[in-house]
Structure 1
Amino acid sequence: MNDITAILHQFEEGRLSTEEAAEKIRAATAPASSHTDIDYNRLERTGCPEVIYGAGKTPEQIEEIARSLLAAGQNVLATRLSGEALDYLARAFPAADMHPAARLMRIAPNPVPRTKGFVGIVSAGTSDQSVAEEAALTAEFLGSRVVRYRDCGVAGLHRLVSHLDSIRQATALVAVAGMEGALPSVLAGLVKAPVIA
């Protein structure tokens, strides 16, 4: 309870707004997970909330972490979910935004400020779509507008070049190419924006 007293003193002194104090109190009183040390203050520190990396976690563990984040007043993004976890979580959170192809779940009760510009998700081929969609949905969850450019692998360079005017308007780009891996290098040579491969 010392944490809550300190938060209330900061509020009383005008160093915290009502919303900031409420968020800190929610985080300080959120139930502790028996298996995970949840970083409730990551959003405040970095501008990006805690995200649940689902690979290697049981569906029950993912549910527990998600409920803890929701209890702390935060949005939830869970990635790399197995088919079993997707089925389980769809039952546990009927209102969740489930994306089986991208293997992720989003629950966003709180509005997220929108960023300027947009993130371009450039994928090489059909087999890259699940990872590309995971990147796109994650960027949207974090407040970015997203434009998807599909089937732009360098084996058919004309497909990439046909989108180049639009791609050059992006604030940042994510290149997803699982087969040859040449797309990020080619793309980075054609644009000013940072390219994440």
Structure 2
Amino acid sequence: MASRERISNILDEYKQGALSREQVIAELNPYEELGFAKIDHQRANRQGFPEVVYAEGKTVEQVVAIVQTLVRRNNSVLATRATKAMYDAVRESISEAVYHELARLIVVEKTPLPKDEERFVLVLTAGTSDLPVAEEAAITAEVMGNKVKRIYDVGVAGIQRLLAQQEWIETANVIIVAAGMEGALASVVGGMAAKPVVAVPTSVGYGANFGGLSALLGMLNSCAAGVAVVNIDNGFGAGRLASLINHMR
């Protein structure tokens, strides 16, 4: 449902003639039907950010139609797991669209959300190969209105690289850790930090990594308290969770 504040604003706009009866009905409708998708326009009212598009598995035409529909009512739109072909098609009608190739994200920010400069999300990776997942997390958090600091390639194989980041670990408000192989970095950071750690297992590793399963199980079995784990390669989920935590007061 739309919030009481949003309903009040809609009624005021209707009384002032800024909205027609049909527009009011559309604004209060729980979703917009596209045939192949039902767009949840009230997501931002309920959760603070519009519905995010998971582009993988969709056609280029479907992604374009969904993004165009969301952009009409929202200042910020995010599409994950998007290809360059999808972006090129979106960009033809939405000039503000930006493509982050490494993270596979399409971002539209007509008016970026304000960021609290005093509270930031720290994103750490075990290795350079974890960057695509880490960048998905970092950019997601930024688009959702968070200051983000990135520190990459500080895995446990060279523990001195991580220990040199102690000041950043202590001053961050939330920490995202992306790691493949055995996923040990999340436990080490969890033992160093007095703040929430969001662990992202990545599918980086040789055969016994089982496509990220070994990192997932390692993180779930962490003996460090305060470590929460999202799904394998789910940078978006980590960025969203870190954003929610960082905005809490």
Q: TM-score, normalised by structure 2?
A: 0.66
Of 141, 144, 152, the residue aligned with 1:150 is: 152
**Offset, 1:84:** 3.3
Matched AA of 1:95 = E
Is 1:175 the counterpart of 2:181 in the alignment? Answer: no
Cα distance in 1 between the residues matched to 2:140 and 2:88: 20
Q: Is the 8 A contact 1:96 1:107 kept in 2?
A: yes
The SS at the match of 1:128 is helix
Identity %, equivalent residues: 40
Task: Give the structure 2 partner of residue 59 of structure 1.
Answer: 60
The SS at the match of 2:46 is helix
Matched AA of 2:60 = P
Say which is worse superposed, 108-117 or 49-58, in terms of deviation.
Answer: 108-117
The 1:137–1:10 alpha-carbon spacing in structure 2 relative to 1, beyond 3 Å, is closer
Task: Give the structure 2 partner of residue 101 of structure 1.
Answer: 102
Task: Give the structure 1 partner of residue 71 of structure 2.
Answer: 70
Matched AA of 1:11 = L
The 1:57–1:175 alpha-carbon spacing in structure 2 relative to 1, beyond 3 Å, is same
Cα distance in 2 between the residues matched to 1:8 and 1:144: 29
Q: Is the 8 A contact 1:86 1:103 kept in 2?
A: no
Task: Give the structure 1 partner of residue 82 of structure 2.
Answer: 81
Q: Is the 8 A contact 1:90 1:98 kept in 2?
A: no
- Matched ranges for 1:17-166 at <5 A: 27-28=27-28, 32-115=33-116, 116-166=118-168
**Offset, 1:24:** 7.3
Say which is worse superposed, 23-32 or 147-156, in terms of deviation.
Answer: 23-32
The 1:150–1:67 alpha-carbon spacing in structure 2 relative to 1, beyond 3 Å, is same
**What 5-or-longer segments of structure 2 have no aligned partner?**
1-6, 13-17, 200-249
The 1:60–1:74 alpha-carbon spacing in structure 2 relative to 1, beyond 3 Å, is same
Cα distance in 2 between the residues matched to 1:158 and 1:149: 14
**Offset, 1:180:** 2.2
Cα distance in 1 between the residues matched to 2:143 and 2:133: 15
**Offset, 1:190:** 0.7
**Offset, 1:60:** 1.2
Q: Is the 8 A contact 1:114 1:145 kept in 2?
A: yes
Cα distance in 1 between the residues matched to 2:174 and 2:156: 19
**Offset, 1:55:** 1.4
Aligned residue pairs total: 183
Cα distance in 2 between the residues matched to 1:136 and 1:193: 18
Q: Is the 8 A contact 1:152 1:160 kept in 2?
A: yes
The SS at the match of 2:187 is helix
Q: TM-score, normalised by structure 1?
A: 0.82
